[in-house]
Chain A
Amino acid sequence: MDIVVIHALNALLYASVLFLIAGGLSLIYGVMRIVNLAHGNLYAFGAYVSAWVVGLLVARAPEGASPSTVLLLLLLPAGAVAAAAFGALLEPTLLRPFYKRAEEYQLLVTFGLLMIIDDVIRWLWGPYPLSASVLFENFGSLGIGDAIYPTYNFLVIAVGALAAVFLWAFIYKTRFGVVLRATSQNMRMSSALGVNVNRVYVQAFTLGCLMAGLGGAIIVPSQSAVLGMGVDALILSFIVVVVGGLGSLEGALLGALIVGVVREAGIAWFPEIELAVLYLIAAAVLLIRPAGLFGRA
């Protein structure tokens, strides 16, 4: 029984982080119809920035003492802010010229961006993993029956759930959300009605990057930031959005839960074909419902 609970918690943990990354990807696609292949790198960027900030603080702390958990927690979102700022810079400079051009070019330019950001991270932080495990250790662990489970993971799950709620409220209950949805439905019409489409695009892209960066920031204390984490995350979030439907946030949530559960089950029971099963699920969903479970065709 305890084992089942732990598996379920792990699945939720994966799902939380995946929802943050894939939700951002989906939001960006939904609003500006662009598949950002560099999205995973923004997640990696967020993870690196957060790990770096935490590392700076630990290095500053007096000998033997670890910095206060509260302070570390307050600084952890630095990665999300950095990723958002990066995104706000990228959209108007590199992506905007491509909205009117063929999809091939959009994919290619973001593929180039993927290569660039990958190496910029390597250049800034070197080839070695960057860890922020201090925070993870400070939280200690919780007993579940006979088993123990890291307390920090509950925080990650909570952040994922909160992000989903906030995002839903933001998109369906605020004025900005209305404008965003209108632009997503019909860009020309909302432009004609006086919406500053360019500004909406920057805001949506920044929000998407903020989510990816937040995903990186909250996961980095339990897993170090490593090179290549961006590409791996991108592929997993592709599966999520394909299963859930490109451009749909509900879909991203459901897709993240499905992928989280399948991954956890895969690691436990069929480790050899865990990844293959995920890709096959994505392919199967594309064949049966090309627009995804929640997509609008």
Chain B
Amino acid sequence: MSTVTTTVALEHRSPVRTLGWAVPALVILLALPFVVDQYQTILLAYGLVMGIAALGFNLLLGYTGLLSFGHSAYFGVGAYTVALMVKYLGVTSMELFLVGAIVACVLVTAVFGIACVRYTRIFFGILTMALSQVLWSLAFKFFWVTGGTDGLRVPTPTLLGLVTGKGDKIAFLATAYYYYVLGVFVICTLVMWVIVSSPFGRALQAIRDNEVRAEFVGIQIRQYRWVAFLVSGVFTGLAGALWVPLNGLTTPDIMHWTFSGEIVFMTVLGGFRSFTGPIIGAIVFNYLKTYAVGYTVYWQLLLGVVLVVLVLSLPTGIVGTAERLWARWRAR
């Protein structure tokens, strides 16, 4: 029996059509390091990393209908797990970092999740924010462990036990590490695609659209929300782990709730009512912020105006607006 979904928003297209744009996009991402310079490649790597974070975040906002203002916590848990593994265990393998980050994030989100999924709407947002601020203040104050505001340095890791960043760090980040990030990004996107298309993903959307009805159908709302919270946090934590070697340093800033705000911002920028929206939003936001910071000291003002205008006039984000324009153009 085919499932009949009445949601217009997150409607999934046929696999063939999806491949029609996914394959060219992947080819471009693969070829780009040969075309653009190292700086641009590294910038794109940052964008892809944030794309993973936003993808995870959107499982909660777009698919489950829960607005978390505390995702910086899981990003930070991923990042600090890597930094602490370097500091105390002397680990250099990137794969071990990723495993460590996943384990740490599962533990943290499992506990936080139990508390948070009892609430929805504004209380969910405030609770996630308060809990993330707990972690931020610990990272901020326990400087003998976390380095306080100085943060912790992280050297370039060993990829797949083969490639090391000895020598030219920039070249390493712009080639080997870029492809590593791209690989993880593709895997994460595929996994998320499977999750949201699965019966589990459909159930989440049912909960988002009508909680009471979903419960009547027999969906155990809290358990589903908890699992979604877990998966969402782990994705974001994975992004944090990938982000650290790129940045070379982790500071408490990435745990602060304003960073959570940035994750929300990029997701809405791309459009949280679509699967690809958060990814596009993260990449665009990354460029926007980088150039705004380089261009003026008042970059916050610029981003704030963009956000207000966006929310006022283009609530469906870049992808939603593009789809609407495309549909209108085709209808002519």
| Residues of chain A having any CB pair with chain B under 8 Å | 35, 37, 94, 97-98, 101, 103-105, 107-109, 111-116, 118-120, 122-123, 231, 235, 238-239, 242, 246, 271-276, 279-280, 282-283, 286-287, 290
21 A-B pairs whose Cβ atoms sit less than 8 Å apart in the complex = A35-B125, A104-B268, A105-B311, A107-B125, A108-B307, A109-B307, A109-B311, A111-B261, A111-B307, A112-B305, A113-B308, A115-B303, A116-B300, A118-B301, A119-B300, A119-B304, A122-B297, A238-B129, A276-B141, A279-B137, A286-B127
**Which residues of B are found within 8 Å of A275, using beta-carbon distances?**
133, 137, 140-141
**Which residues of B are found within 8 Å of A120, using beta-carbon distances?**
301
Give the size of the chain B interface in residues (CB under 8 angstroms). Answer: 43
The 10 closest A-B pairs by CB, nearest first: A115-B304, A112-B307, A275-B137, A119-B301, A116-B304, A112-B308, A279-B134, A115-B300, A119-B300, A112-B304
A287–B118 touching, CB < 8 Å = yes
**Which residues of A are found within 8 Å of B119, using beta-carbon distances?**
286, 290
**Which residues of B are found within 8 Å of A231, using beta-carbon distances?**
258
Interface centre among B115, B130, B303, B306 (most CB of A within 10 A): B130
Residue of B nearest to A275 (CB): B137
Q: Does B44 contact A (CB under 8 A)?
A: no
**Which residues of B are found within 8 Å of A118, using beta-carbon distances?**
300-301, 304
A119–B298 touching, CB < 8 Å = yes
Contact of A104 (CB < 8 Å), options: B67, B130, B305: B67
Alpha-carbon separation in the docked complex, A101 to B315 (Å): 10
With A275-B137, A279-B137 in contact, do A286 and B301 touch (Cβ < 8 Å)? no
Alpha-carbon separation in the docked complex, A116 to B307 (Å): 10
**Which residues of B are found within 8 Å of A123, using beta-carbon distances?**
298, 301
**Which residues of B are found within 8 Å of A113, using beta-carbon distances?**
304, 308
Contact of A235 (CB < 8 Å), options: B257, B300, B303, B304: B257
B130–A239 touching, CB < 8 Å = yes
What's the minimum C-beta distance from A45 to chain B, rounded to whole angstroms? Answer: 14
What's the minimum C-beta distance from A40 to chain B, rounded to whole angstroms? Answer: 11
B307–A273 touching, CB < 8 Å = no
Residue of A nearest to B309 (CB): A112
Residue of A nearest to B128 (CB): A283
Interface centre among B115, B125, B311 (most CB of A within 10 A): B311
B315–A105 touching, CB < 8 Å = yes
B304–A286 touching, CB < 8 Å = no
Residue of A nearest to B258 (CB): A231
**Which residues of A are found within 8 Å of B115, using beta-carbon distances?**
283, 286-287
Contact of A283 (CB < 8 Å), options: B127, B257, B301, B308: B127
With A279-B137, A280-B134 in contact, do A107 and B69 touch (Cβ < 8 Å)? yes
What 1/0 mask marks residues of chain B from 285 to 305 whose CB sits below 8 Å from any chain A CB? 000000000000111110111
Among residues 113 to 134 in chain B, which have CB atoms less than 8 Å away from a CB atom of chain A? 115, 118-119, 121-123, 125-127, 129-131, 133-134
Q: Does B212 contact A (CB under 8 A)?
A: no
With A238-B129, A280-B134, A283-B130 in contact, do A97 and B121 touch (Cβ < 8 Å)? no
With A108-B311, A116-B300, A118-B300 in contact, do A103 and B122 touch (Cβ < 8 Å)? yes
Contact of B134 (CB < 8 Å), options: A37, A276, A287: A276
Among residues 71 to 115 in chain B, which have CB atoms less than 8 Å away from a CB atom of chain A? 115
A108–B304 touching, CB < 8 Å = no
Known: A238-B126, A279-B130. 15 other contacts (CB 8 A): A35-B126, A94-B308, A103-B122, A104-B67, A105-B311, A109-B311, A114-B304, A116-B305, A118-B300, A119-B300, A119-B304, A275-B133, A283-B127, A286-B126, A287-B118
Contact of B141 (CB < 8 Å), options: A107, A242, A272: A272
Interface centre among A97, A116, A123, A273 (most CB of B within 10 A): A116
Interface centre among A274, A283, A290 (most CB of B within 10 A): A283
What's the minimum C-beta distance from A240 to chain B, rounded to whole angstroms? Answer: 12
**Which residues of A are found within 8 Å of B272, using beta-carbon distances?**
104
**Which residues of A are found within 8 Å of B133, using beta-carbon distances?**
235, 275, 279
A107–B304 touching, CB < 8 Å = no
